[in-house]
Amino acid sequence: MNLLFSATWREGGPTAELPRLLDPLGVRCLEARCGRDAARLVEQEEIHIALIDLELPMEADGDKRAAGEKVLQILRRVDPAPPVVLVRPAQPSRRESVRGLSDALREGVFAVLDRPLGIETMLETLRRVVRRHYSDQWPVA
């Protein structure tokens, strides 16, 4: 199974642990440090699950505009589109949180996780993706 993840561009984030924890299970973690990396990986690899940070920068060393929405658009064009878990900053109000969650789910996102989040929450969400989309079996890459 190929897992595209983009949240480790934040130093010390919980996704830094994903390769170490998931590799023994046969999960190949494909890290994107910017929007350009994510687009290249989607083009070159079959993606089974995507974990995308909305604030992922467009370029690693240049353009710092958020590329998360662009990566979501690219993933939606893949056939079949992989399930996406979206990571976003903490929302300033409950109303904005609910509105953002509704918008993301309407766009086909599997789950939305607010920062700060722990590795346990992330792993549980990935387990739910595998259960729902892959009949509780890790897909073979």
Three-state SS for 42-93 is: HHHCCCCEEEEECCCECCCCCCCCECHHHHHHHHHCCCCCCCEEEEECCCCC
Mean pLDDT of the region 62-70: 81
State which residues form the domain around 69.
Answer: 2-133
* Mean residue pLDDT across the chain: 86
Q: How many domains does the chain have?
A: 1
Q: Give a yes or no: residue 138 inside a domain.
A: no
Quick one: which of 117, 118, 127 has its CA closest to 90? Answer: 117
- Is residue 8 assigned to a domain? yes
Q: Closest by alpha carbon to 1, among 34, 32, 24?
A: 24
**pLDDT of 135:** 86
Query: What is the DSSP-derived secondary structure letter of residue 139?
Result: P
Alpha carbon distance 115, 5 (integer Å): 15
What does the pLDDT read at residue 66?
Answer: 83
Q: Side chain identity at 31, as an amino acid letter?
A: E
- The token pair at 111 is 């789950």
Are residues 46 and 4 in contact, defined by beta-carbon separation less than 8 angstroms? Answer: no
In a domain? residue 139: no
More confident residue, 59 or 37: 37
Q: What is the mean predicted confidence (pLDDT) over 86-114?
A: 81
pTM of the model: 0.86
- Domain membership flag for residue 123: yes
pLDDT, tens only, 24-54: 988 999 999 899 999 999 999 999 999 999 8
Give the mean model confidence (pLDDT) for residues 72-85: 94
- Inside any domain, residue 77: yes
84 assigned to some structural domain: yes
**CATH code, domain carrying 89:** 3.40.50.2300
